[in-house]
Amino acid sequence: MKVLRISAVAAMLACCCMIHTSTSAEQFPSRVVKFLVPQTAGGATDVFARKLAQMLSERWGQPIIVENRAGAAGVLGTDVVAKSAADGYTLLVTYAGSQAVNPSLYPNLPFDSVKDFQPIATLARTPFLLVVNPKLPAKDLREFIALARQKPGILTFASSGIGSVNHLLGEMLKVQAGINILHVPYRGVAPAIADVIARHVDSAFSSVPSVLGNIGGGQVRALAVSSAKRVAVAPDVPAIAESGFPGFDINPWWGILAPAWTDTAVVRRINGNVNEVLQDKDLIDFLATQGAEPFATSPDEFLAILKSDVEEWAKVIKAADVKLN
C-alpha cells in the first residue's frame, strides 16, 4: 500500500512538472529578454543580433535589449551568460570564431563552451573578406602574395584579437601561401579596419557585414573571400579557393545559445520562432545585403555543429602554432 502511495505521489509530481514546463514555455517571454553580444558594436554579431531582436520583439510582444560585453576575444561576455539564470531571459548571440575557437586558446576558460551552454538556434553564415588599403600595390590575391614574398615580414595584417577568426584566416593564408606577414591584433574589428584605411596596417580579414560599407565607399579594396564560392554582394571578388588554394573554405555560423539546463520547452519555442523569422523575406533580404545567408538548424543539429567546430578549429590553431603569449 505504501509503495502504491509513493508511486502515485511521484506520478502526480511528474505530471505537475510537465504542466509547469508546458505553461512556462507557452507564456515565454513574459518580460524583457536580453541578447548579450560578446563582441564590439558594429561588427557582424552585433548587426545580426539587433535585426533579430527587432523581429522577435515584434513577434513576442516583449522588448529585447541588446547588450555588448566585449573583451578577451568574447570570453568576458560569454562567461556572463554561462553564469546567468537558465530561464531563457539572458541569451548569448555569438559566432563560431568565439564559441568554437576559444577552447583551444584559453586553457583556463571559466566555462566550458559546449557543456555550460544549451545551443538554441543558428542564424546565419557569412564568409570573411581580405581587404587592403587601396594604395597598396596589389589588385588581387596573387599580387598580394607576390608582394609579401618580395618583402618578407614587412607587410602587416590586422585582426580583432589574437585567436579571432580574422587572425586565424591570416595564419592559414600564411601557411598555405608560404608567406611571412606580420600580425597586428586590435580590440575589435572596427579599429582594425580603421587602421587599414589610415594605412597604419596593410590588410585585414573581416566579416562581410563589418566591412561592406568601406568597400563600397572606396576606403578599402577587397582582394578575396574566404568561402568556397563568391558572394552575391561582391561578385567581382574571387574566392581564395579559386585563386590557387583549392579547398580553402571558411564560412562561420552565427547563433543563439542559453545557459545549460534551460527548459527544453523554452529552447524549442525560441528555436521555432527563430526558424520562422529566418523564412521572412525581410530578414532574408537584410542578410543578403550583408553578404550572409539564413542558416536554420534544430538545437541538436546546432550542438553537433558546435562540437565539430571546436575540434576543427583546434587543428587549425595547432597547425598555425597560435599562442596567446
Q: CA 246 to CA 253: how far, in whole Å?
A: 21
**Domain locations along the chain:** 31-126+252-320, 128-243
Q: CA 169 to CA 282: how far, in whole Å?
A: 31
Cis peptide before 209 (omega within 30 of 0): no
Instruction: Quickly list DSSP for 202-251.
Output: SEEEEEHHHHHHHHHTTSSEEEEESSSS--TTSTTS-BGGGGT-TT----
Q: CA 10 to CA 244: how far, in whole Å?
A: 65
Contact (Cβ atoms closer than 8 angstroms) between residue 66 and residue 79: no
Predicted pLDDT at 65:
98
Predicted pLDDT at 3:
46
Q: CA 93 to CA 81: how far, in whole Å?
A: 10
Q: CA 260 to CA 85: how far, in whole Å?
A: 9
Which residue ranges of the chain lie beneath pLDDT 50?
Answer: 2-4, 17, 19-23
User: Residue 318: CA atoms inside 13 Å, Cβ hemisphere, count?
Assistant: 8
Predicted pLDDT at 79:
98
Same fold, 31-126+252-320 and 128-243: yes
In the CATH scheme, what architecture does the domain 31-126+252-320 have?
3-Layer(aba) Sandwich (3.40)
Q: What is the pLDDT of residues 14-33, one digit of tens each?
A: 555 454 444 467 789 999 99
- The secondary element (H helix, E strand) that includes residue 184 is strand 182-185
> Of how many residues is the chain composed?
325
The residue among 309, 287, 305 whose CA lies nearest residue 207 is 287
Instruction: Quickly list DSSP for 305-319.
Output: HHHHHHHHHHHHHHH
Contact (Cβ atoms closer than 8 angstroms) between residue 260 and residue 86: yes
Q: CA 263 to CA 82: how far, in whole Å?
A: 15
Crossing angle for the helix pair 208-216 and 44-60, nearest 10 degrees?
A: 110
CATH superfamily of 128-243: Periplasmic binding protein-like II (3.40.190.10)
Tell me the residue type at 127: P
Predicted pLDDT at 290:
87
Contact (Cβ atoms closer than 8 angstroms) between residue 123 and residue 129: no
List C-alpha distances in Å: 261 to 27, 85, 120, 187, 240.
18, 9, 12, 32, 41
Instruction: Quickly list DSSP for 261-316.
Output: T--HHHHHHHHHHHHHHTT-HHHHHHHHHTT-EE----HHHHHHHHHHHHHHHHHH
Predicted pLDDT at 174:
94
Q: What is the pLDDT of residues 132-145, one digit of tens each?
A: 999 999 999 999 99
Distance linking the first and last C-alpha atoms of the chain: 67
